[in-house]
Structure 1
Amino acid sequence: MELLDTLIVGAGISGLSLAHALHKEATNPSSLKILVAESQGRVGGNITTVTAEGFLWEEGPNSFSPTPELMKLAVDVGLKQELIFADRKLPRFVYWQKKLQPVPMTPPAMIQSQLLSFPGKLRALFGALGFVAPAMGAGLSQQGNEETVSQFFRRHLGTEVMQRLVEPFVSGVYAGDPQQLSAAAAFGRVAKMADLGGGLMAGALLSARKRPKQVPADPNVPKTRPGELGSFKQGLKALPEAIAAKLGDRVKLNWHLTRLQRTQRETYIAVFSTPEGQQEVEARTVVLTTPAYVTADLLQPLQPEVSSALQAFTYPTVACVVLAYPHSDLKGKLVGFGNLIPRGQGIRTLGTIWTSSLFADRTPAGWHTLTSFIGGATDSEIGNLDSEQIVREVHRDLSRILLKPDVPQPKVLAVNVWKRAIPQYNLGHFDRLQQIDEGLKSLPGVYLCSNYVGGVALGDCVRRGFDRAREVGEYLQNKQSDTRSI
């Protein structure tokens, strides 16, 4: 049995980014033995790009923020000419009291906005300036002095900002419940600003002063501007497929990990179910990029405490519903990123991306594609509905917000029900991560690299993959040095 340097379990964007970084940074790439094992018959994980009948759509992530790591990765794997970006000036909307209200993105826009009342604006202004009551109370003590997203933003910016801006954002990004999510975990940068300056505005200014000077940009990487969202001409799947193509036969599909065991020489034996039958591989290091519930089962025999912490992560059900309508069915021309819907507005859908407005040439002439998300932590019942029922719910909501009265049923492009969609950064998140880190000390060479740690966005996944690659590389170097010194 050949001894691998690194076994990476999962060929989503985290695992592929890690494998790419390991291979690229290796002193002798040809001698580095890496295997990426994926249980599905394709790479990309939750990235699901589909084309049919002249339409192109996404059923998982829909776009990315162009972080430095992600942009560099795209260029490295030959996708520079495939990058596309949405107009950053496209407005975002919140559906409030039966109207689509633009989200205020600047101070003048906030002043003019009808989304917040005059008292609500004053409350937000005073809070941002630092006139904020301390976090205290019996409820907070019972939570280990950890504020929920709802408690944090109500305290700092008031109820209106919380209900009309933060809550729909939380639903759209995390599919989460702001009364359960940890503010420090889900909004880490904002929480740190508040701690640093006493108020969000002062904290933002102080954070900007303390920010290290940026490294000169790589001239080969296209420049982007704040607020832009990116994709590729052929959709997001272009990135994982390009990375996998570079890795070649180091990527194995339809390899399902059934057991992981440790050897006496501090390596790991992984047993896989594959189309060719059972396969066993031995590796010096193992990186599990699998969801928390999968990783928990794999590590239960090796480290029960880590397994227990992983089992505590919850993943609500979310349905991605992609519908197409003729332009004549819409109330007006759709120009914007899309709309989010706060709870309590009589609308079940969490939000809708105006796909055809975001990226051109993804819809046949005369049609508009709308990608809606429904379910999440505040609507667990969505998992009990079949596809037809889910489409009826979304179509009814769209009829109230974007469509003319009595339009016929849409062209249904996709209903993808993600039974376990997005890991929730709920109260106790950092305690769980600390328990995991402590437990992994007894399993040298085992690393976790998934979106329940350090952010769920694609840019977070790429950055985390790069960071773990450095850790794995250092571990392998140290082991090699130890062997030589014996």
Structure 2
Amino acid sequence: MELLDTLIVGAGISGLSLAHALHKEATSPSPLKILVAESQGRVGGNITTVTGEGFLWEEGPNSFSPTPELMKLAVDVGLKQELIFADRKLPRFVYWQKKLQPVPMTPPAMIQSQLLSFPGKLRALFGALGFVGPAMGDRLSQQGDEETVSQFFRRHLGTEVMQRLVEPFVSGVYAGDPQQLSAAAAFGRVAKMADVGGGLVAGALLSAKNRPKKMPADPNVPKTRPGELGSFKQGLKALPEAIAAELGDRVKLNWHLTRLDRTERETYIAVFSTPDGQQEVEARTVVLTTPAYVTADLLQPLQPQVSSALQAFTYPTVACVVLAYPHSDVNGKLVGFGNLIPRGQGIRTLGTIWTSSLFADRTPAGWHTLTSFIGGATDSEIGNLDSEQIVREVHRDLSRILLKPDVPQPKVLAVNVWKRAIPQYNLGHFDRLQQIDEGLKSLPGVYLCSNYVGGVALGDCVRRGFDRAREVGEYLQNKQSDTRSI
């Protein structure tokens, strides 16, 4: 049995980013021996790009913020000419009191916005300037002095900002419940600003002042501007597929990990169910990029403490519904990123991306494509509905927000029900991560690299993959040095 340097379990964007970094940056005399094992018949994990009848759509992530790591990765794997970016000036909307209200993105827009009342704007201004009461109360004590997203933003910016801006954002990013999500975990940068400066404005200024100087920009990486959203001409799947092509036969599909054992010489034996029967792999290091609930089962025999912490992560059900309508069915022109819906507005759908407005040439002439998300932590019942029922719910909501009266049923492109969609960064998040880190000390060479740690966006996944690759590389170098010194 050949001894691998690194076994990576899972060929989502985290695992592939990590494998790319190890493959490219290996400093040992010979290239690292890497294997990426994926249980599905394709790479990409939650990235799900589909085409049909002249349409191109996404059923998982829809776009990415162009972080430096993600952009460099795209260029490194030959996708520079495939990059596309949506107009950063496209407005975002919130559906409030039966109207689509543009989200204010600048201070002047905030002043003019009809989304917030004058008292609500005044409350937000004073809070942002630091006129904020301390976090206190019996409930906070019961939570270990950890504020929820709802508590934090109500205290700092007031109820209106919380209900009309933060809550729909939470629904759109996490499909989460702001009364359960940890402010420090889900909005870490904002929470740190408040801690540093005593108020959000002062904290933002101090954070900007103390921010490390940026490294010189790589001339090969296209420049982007704040607020831009990116994708590729053939959809997001282009990135994982390009990385997999670079790695070649180091990527194995339909390999399902059934058991992980530790050997006496501090290596690991992984047993896989594959199309060719049972396969065993031995590796010096193992990186599990699988969801928390899968990782928990794999590590239960080896480290019950870590397994217990992983089992505490919750993943609500979310349905992605992609519908197409003729232009004649839609009220006015759809120019914008899309709309989010706060809870309490009589609308079940969490939000809708105006796909045909965001990226051109993905929809046949005369059609609009709308990608809606429904379910989440505040609507667990969505998992009990079948596809037809879910389409009816979404179509009814769209009829109230975007469509003309009595339009016929849409063209249904997709209904993808993610039974366990997005890990929730709920109260106790950092305690769980600390428990995991402590437990992993007894399993040297085992690393976790998934979106329940350090952010759920694609850019977060790529950055995390690069960071773990450095840790794995350092571990292997140290082990090699220890062996030579014996």
TM-score class normalised by the smaller sequence: over 0.9
Residue 31 of structure 1 and its aligned partner are, at CA, apart by 3.2
Partner residue, 1:261: 261
List gaps (5 residues or longer) in structure 2.
none
Paired with 2:381 and 2:129, the residues of 1 have a C-alpha distance of 41
Counterpart secondary structure, 2:357: helix
Paired with 1:203 and 1:485, the residues of 2 have a C-alpha distance of 49
Paired with 1:231 and 1:30, the residues of 2 have a C-alpha distance of 35
Partner deviation per Cα, 1:76-133 (whole Å, 9 max, x = no partner): 0000000000000000000000000000000000000000000000000000000000
2:7–2:287 CA contact under 8 A, matched in 1: yes
Paired with 2:194 and 2:420, the residues of 1 have a C-alpha distance of 32
1:306–1:440 CA contact under 8 A, matched in 2: yes
Counterpart secondary structure, 1:261: strand
Counterpart secondary structure, 1:132: coil
Paired with 1:7 and 1:301, the residues of 2 have a C-alpha distance of 19
Change in Cα spacing, 1:228 to 1:70, as seen in structure 2 (3 Å) is same
Residue 29 of structure 1 and its aligned partner are, at CA, apart by 7.8
Paired with 1:24 and 1:140, the residues of 2 have a C-alpha distance of 47
Change in Cα spacing, 1:389 to 1:248, as seen in structure 2 (3 Å) is same
Paired with 1:107 and 1:407, the residues of 2 have a C-alpha distance of 38
TM-score normalised by L of structure 2: 1.00
Partner residue, 1:444: 444
1:93–1:100 CA contact under 8 A, matched in 2: yes
Partner residue, 2:183: 183
Paired with 1:8 and 1:331, the residues of 2 have a C-alpha distance of 49
Regions of 4+ moved over 6 Å: none
Paired with 2:177 and 2:374, the residues of 1 have a C-alpha distance of 13
Partner deviation per Cα, 1:348-395 (whole Å, 9 max, x = no partner): 000000000000000000000000000000000000000000000000
Paired with 1:30 and 1:314, the residues of 2 have a C-alpha distance of 42
Paired with 2:193 and 2:266, the residues of 1 have a C-alpha distance of 43
Paired with 1:27 and 1:71, the residues of 2 have a C-alpha distance of 23
Partner residue, 1:404: 404
1:180–1:426 CA contact under 8 A, matched in 2: yes
Paired with 1:30 and 1:398, the residues of 2 have a C-alpha distance of 57
Residue 178 of structure 1 and its aligned partner are, at CA, apart by 0.0
Residue 467 of structure 1 and its aligned partner are, at CA, apart by 0.1
Paired with 2:31 and 2:48, the residues of 1 have a C-alpha distance of 33
Counterpart secondary structure, 2:134: coil
When structure 1 is superposed on structure 2, of 107-116 and 26-35 the one drifting more is: 26-35
Partner residue, 2:147: 147
1:92–1:337 CA contact under 8 A, matched in 2: yes
1:42–1:253 CA contact under 8 A, matched in 2: yes
Counterpart secondary structure, 1:8: strand
Residue 42 of structure 1 and its aligned partner are, at CA, apart by 0.1
Paired with 2:406 and 2:29, the residues of 1 have a C-alpha distance of 61
Partner deviation per Cα, 1:428-484 (whole Å, 9 max, x = no partner): 000000000000000000000000000000000000000000000000000000000
Paired with 1:254 and 1:71, the residues of 2 have a C-alpha distance of 29
Counterpart secondary structure, 2:310: helix
Counterpart secondary structure, 1:29: coil
1:316–1:377 CA contact under 8 A, matched in 2: yes
When structure 1 is superposed on structure 2, of 180-189 and 30-39 the one drifting more is: 30-39
Paired with 2:369 and 2:233, the residues of 1 have a C-alpha distance of 16
Paired with 2:331 and 2:289, the residues of 1 have a C-alpha distance of 44
Change in Cα spacing, 1:29 to 1:235, as seen in structure 2 (3 Å) is farther
List gaps (5 residues or longer) in structure 1.
none
Counterpart secondary structure, 2:30: helix
Paired with 2:328 and 2:378, the residues of 1 have a C-alpha distance of 34
Residue 27 of structure 1 and its aligned partner are, at CA, apart by 1.9
Residue 396 of structure 1 and its aligned partner are, at CA, apart by 0.1
Identity %: 96
1:356–1:362 CA contact under 8 A, matched in 2: yes
Residue 22 of structure 1 and its aligned partner are, at CA, apart by 0.5
Paired with 1:27 and 1:297, the residues of 2 have a C-alpha distance of 34
1:115–1:164 CA contact under 8 A, matched in 2: yes
Partner deviation per Cα, 1:194-236 (whole Å, 9 max, x = no partner): 0000000000000000001110100000000000000000000
Partner deviation per Cα, 1:132-170 (whole Å, 9 max, x = no partner): 000001100000000000000000000000000000000
2:17–2:462 CA contact under 8 A, matched in 1: yes
Change in Cα spacing, 1:30 to 1:241, as seen in structure 2 (3 Å) is farther
1:23–1:29 CA contact under 8 A, matched in 2: no
Paired with 1:106 and 1:300, the residues of 2 have a C-alpha distance of 49
Paired with 1:189 and 1:357, the residues of 2 have a C-alpha distance of 30
Partner residue, 2:293: 293
2:23–2:31 CA contact under 8 A, matched in 1: no
Change in Cα spacing, 1:7 to 1:191, as seen in structure 2 (3 Å) is same
Partner deviation per Cα, 1:13-71 (whole Å, 9 max, x = no partner): 00000000001111258531000000000000000000000000000000000000000
Partner deviation per Cα, 1:293-314 (whole Å, 9 max, x = no partner): 0000000000000000000000
Paired with 2:114 and 2:365, the residues of 1 have a C-alpha distance of 34
Partner residue, 1:219: 219
After superposition, the CA RMSD in angstroms is: 0.5
1:266–1:284 CA contact under 8 A, matched in 2: yes
Counterpart secondary structure, 2:456: coil
Residue 317 of structure 1 and its aligned partner are, at CA, apart by 0.1
Paired with 1:138 and 1:28, the residues of 2 have a C-alpha distance of 56
1:63–1:231 CA contact under 8 A, matched in 2: yes
2:356–2:368 CA contact under 8 A, matched in 1: yes
Partner residue, 2:57: 57
2:13–2:458 CA contact under 8 A, matched in 1: yes
Paired with 2:301 and 2:88, the residues of 1 have a C-alpha distance of 49
Partner residue, 1:164: 164
1:148–1:181 CA contact under 8 A, matched in 2: yes
Paired with 1:171 and 1:281, the residues of 2 have a C-alpha distance of 41
Paired with 2:183 and 2:193, the residues of 1 have a C-alpha distance of 12
Counterpart secondary structure, 1:342: coil
Residue 402 of structure 1 and its aligned partner are, at CA, apart by 0.1
Paired with 2:267 and 2:212, the residues of 1 have a C-alpha distance of 39
Paired with 1:232 and 1:28, the residues of 2 have a C-alpha distance of 34
Paired with 2:206 and 2:233, the residues of 1 have a C-alpha distance of 39
